[in-house]
Structures are given as C-alpha cells and as structure tokens.
Amino acid sequence: MKKTVFFAIIILLSFGLAAQTTKKKKKKPAPKPTAPIEIALPERCFDCFFAVKLQADVPFGPTEPLQGPGYVNEIHRDAQTQNVFEQEHNSIWYSLEIPYDGKLLIDIKPKGASDDYDFLVYKYTDKYFCNRIEKNRVKPLRSVQSISSSDVQGRTGLSLKGTMAHIKKSSDEAFGKYIDVKAGESYIIVLDNLTDGGLGHTITCEVWTDFAPLYIQPMDSLKAQRTTADIYVKELETGRVVVDKKDAGSMKIKLLPGKTYNVSLSKEGYFRMNKTITHEQAAAKDSIFSAKLIEIKPGSNIPLEGELYFDENEQNEIVVMKECYHAFNGVIKTLNEYPQINIDIIGRIATEGLNVKKDNEISRKRAEAIKNYLVSQGINENRIRTRGSSIKELEKQLKDQQKLKNKIITPQCEIKIAAKR
C-alpha cells in the first residue's frame, strides 16, 4: 500500500512538472539594430596613384577610420600654393568620372560628429597628374578647410547654396560652391581627417541637373508587399548603365532630359519585369514604378514587354505586327530558361457585342498568330495550347465596358503557365 501511494505521488509530481514546462515561454527581446558594416579600404588608397573610384549619385561608406598620410605626403603648402592642406594627417584619395553634364555636389558625413574633415577637389588631367600634385604644380578648384561645426554634425562638402570656392580655417562655412562639370571629365577628391583617432565617413558625389526622379519599388504581386530584386537600368541613347545592383530594395534614380531608359527587375523564381520610360513621362508626375513581380507557377500570367497589335498578311491570315515582336522577349526567355513549362495562350479582342461568335473566332486566330511567332523563335509547338475568348468572357467584357460608359476595353492577350498535362 505504501509503495502504491509513493508511486502515485511520483506520477502527480511528474504531471506537475510537465504542466509547468508547458507554460508559455517569455518572448525574447527583439534584437537591437546593427550598425552599418564599415567598408574596408584598399591598402594604398591613402596615396594619389591608388585613388578609390566613386560612382556618381551612389554613397560610399561608412568607411573604416583613416590612418596616416600614406606612403607619400603629396599635399604640402608653399608660397605659391596656398589653398591646400599644410600637410596630410589622415587622408584618402578618391576619383570620380562625370557621367553627364551638371553641377557637382559633394556631401561628406563623418561617422564621428566631432571629427574635423577638410577636403580638396582637383580636375584630373593625365597620367602625370599625381606627379604634378606632389610638386605643387596643380591648384585645386575647391578647398574647404573650415573647423568642424557642431551645427552640421561635422558634415562638409559642396552645395548649390555654397558661395565660396576656397574656405579657410577662419571661416564658419561648412560647404563650398558647386562645380559646373561636363560628361567624360574626371575629378580627384582628397579628404583629410585632422582628428587623430577619429572615425570613418560616408561620401556622396551627386551630379545635379534638371532630372526627373523615378522611384523603383519591387513588389511581390501575390503577397502585396515590398521585396528585393536585381535592378538594372540602362540609358538607351548612350548605353550608360545607371544602376546595376543585386538584391536591391526601393530606390530613386535620375532620368535626364531627352533620354529614354530601360528598367529591368529580376528575381529567382519570378518573371523578369521590364519597363521603358522617358524623362518626359517621369517629369509629368511623381513617377513610381511599382514593379509587381509575378511568381513562376501554374496559372500565372507571363507579362508582355510592350503593346501588341495584329495585321493580315497576303494570305489574309492574322499575324503579329513586326513592331510588336519585342513584347514577347520575356516570354521566350522564360520558356528557354524553364523547358519544363507549357503555356496556354488566350486571345483577346475589343468587342462591341455585335457579333460575339465572330469576335470569338478572331480572338482564337490572334492566339494562333502568337503561337506561330513563338514557334518561329524556336519554341516547341507541343508546349503551346491556344484558344479564343469564350462567349462568357466576351459578355463580361462588354458589361465592364458599359460600366465605363461604353469605353472600349482593348486587352491584348493572356499567356498563362499551364498546369501539368
């Protein structure tokens, strides 16, 4: 009897312990946001010959702290060269190639607000430039050597509001005057941190002009939330690459007057998204390219890359107009990258409801015309199934048009990833 009671007590205790362990655990506090990772600087970037290349409109930093004047102390003041440092303390050299005409603005933001950064700006000439600098044969276009101000947290640079080309230590001006620059020119920027034991910095060189901003926002269309993507932007007239960034989030880019741009977003497992936009289109309003990335799966529509129009050939067959072939670049690329995918093409037509059966037949022939073009580009015809708009679909389209006060709706076509068949 005693043994039985003792055993029962043990069981009760065990259940009690189990009950205690099933209590809700306390939530761990959210991790504190980590500081941006410092950029490790190349070993010889503290000398002119090994200047770090900057990209216009792209911030560089925060850097690790600057340490010393490098192997060569190129900057030193003499009777003929006054607007330079007395000597280098903790310096770094940058080079910048100007991508387009405008006004050069510079923003230098120290990581330590009490750090005292001075800087010089030279126009690069030729391969002998660094030798001439060392011999004081080149004068800077801009020099800002004012004492760091707590009002601007140690920031300095060139701005549109700046009025002076050269600012001495006795001045309380932190920003000098911008420089008018031309595409293809190169400039050398020398930074010197007078604060021993100081911290790093972030530098941004902006070429200001009458640009139109374009805001790019990668979106997951299914989850209706922001995501990241590889973003590539190219200026079509010049071939200049404006952005080439992997796994990027939302960003703002500048569209220059008279220029046209191709914006491309790609993400693993999603269709590529392309858009062509001009400066004038972006300037007409605050242009936001909300790129809704579509997951590659059965039922998903493959987006077209342009408008779609049809014509009749000499045999009275409906064909895709040559000017619209580029609209299928993304479709062809997707089918080549994913050979296991089959597609359904549903033709569309702007119906007026006068002859629904005829509209159905025309939409079917349009789907066949798209198939014929894809097959001509090397896509196996067995991977493509076509149909026209059904009577029910056309009737719904007509009702939608009537809701919009009889405005004709002109859908192009639908190219869907087919279920396994």
Give per-10-residue mean pLDDT for the chain (421 aa): 38 37 52 70 91 93 91 83 87 95 95 92 95 90 82 88 92 93 96 92 94 91 88 93 92 90 91 88 80 87 82 88 89 89 85 67 90 95 88 65 50 77 61
> How many whole angstroms separate alpha carbon 191 and alpha carbon 188?
10
Residue keyed to tokens 């392309």: 274
Nearest to 328 by CA among 299, 350, 308: 308
Tokens matching residue 299 = 């039922």
Matching residue, tokens 């940058």: 94
User: In CATH, what is the architecture of 310-417?
Assistant: 2-Layer Sandwich (3.30)
Other C-beta atoms within 10 Å of 408: how many? 10
pLDDT at res. 326: 87
- As to burial, measured by CB atoms within 10 angstroms (0-12 exposed, 13-18 middle, 19+ buried), residue 356 is middle
Q: Are 381 and 375 in contact (CB under 8 A)?
A: yes
Fold designation for 48-208: Jelly Rolls (2.60.120)
* pLDDT for position 37: 82
Please classify residue 19 by burial: count the beta carbons closer than 10 Å to its beta carbon, then call 0-12 exposed, 13-18 middle and 19+ buried. exposed
Report the pLDDT value the prediction gives residue 216, as an integer from 0 to 100: 93
Domain 212-293 class? mainly beta
Please, which residues bridge with residue 201 across strands? 110
pLDDT at 31: 56
Q: How high is the pLDDT of residue 358?
A: 79
The two structure tokens encoding residue 140: 């800077």
Q: Which residue has the tokens 């972006």?
A: 282
Question: Per residue in 39-61, pLDDT tens?
Answer: 999 888 999 999 999 999 889 99
pLDDT of residue 15: 36
pLDDT score at 410: 46
pLDDT tens, position by position, 215-228: 999 998 878 889 99
Q: Give the domain ranges of the chain.
A: 48-208, 212-293, 310-417
